[in-house]
């Protein structure tokens, strides 16, 4: 990987972490929540500049992810996960206790969302922005949520799990 590509991947990881931590609403059961309108968000123009010279870091374009205030937990998939694994992960998530709603965001949708949220997105490899499942939980305690998160982390094909920043995930158990 070239130095520029490595720097772009680093920026992507930082920006993705920022995007993920903005995806919260707490484990309140979704009262007052609505389904995200990802399709509408993806009709917005890509943030500019799309490519940045040197060590200029990506910056937000002043937009908010459609996931903000919608989901409690996000499961980011391994880039090498097969279609069968992705389907299996979704089925397992749907059947877990305390899961009220499961949304899927493909890698292509995730990258398109990233492009609309952050400048310098052309410097970030597509593979740095994974597909994900986004979950809304029913009324749960933090302990119930953390048990669910640890179960999710053990699923084959799940690379990482992130929680609403107002109630961060505990470190891996």
pLDDT of residue 141: 93
Measured over the CA atoms of residue 109, residue 110, residue 112 and residue 113, the dihedral's sign is positive
User: Any idea what DSSP says for residue 45?
Assistant: P
Number of Cβ atoms within 10 Å of the Cβ of 103: 18
pLDDT of residue 24: 39
Structural domain spans, the chain: 3-48+68-163
pLDDT of residue 26: 44
- CATH fold, domain 3-48+68-163, is Alpha-Beta Plaits (3.30.70)
Low-confidence stretches of the chain (pLDDT beneath 70): 1-33, 172-173
| Residue linked to tokens 């490595």 | 6
pLDDT of residue 27: 46
């Amino acid at each position: 990987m070239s130095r520029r590509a490595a720097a772009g991947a680093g920026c992507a990881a930082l920006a993705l972490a920022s995007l993920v931590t903005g995806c919260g609403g707490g484990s309140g059961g979704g009262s007052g929540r609505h389904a995200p309108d990802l399709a509408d968000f993806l009709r917005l123009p890509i943030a500019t500049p799309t490519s940045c010279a040197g060590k200029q870091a990506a910056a937000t374009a002043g937009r908010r992810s459609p996931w903000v205030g919608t989901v409690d937990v996000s499961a980011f998939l391994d880039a090498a996960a097969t279609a069968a694994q992705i389907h299996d992960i979704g089925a397992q998530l749907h059947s877990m206790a305390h899961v009220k709603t499961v949304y899927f965001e493909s890698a292509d949708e995730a990258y398109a969302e990233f492009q609309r949220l952050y400048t310098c997105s052309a410097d970030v490899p597509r593979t740095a922005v994974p597909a994900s499942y986004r979950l809304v939980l029913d009324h749960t305690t933090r302990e119930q949520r953390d048990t669910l998160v640890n179960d999710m982390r053990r699923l084959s094909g799940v690379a990482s799990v992130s929680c609403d920043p107002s109630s961060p995930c505990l470190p891996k158990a």
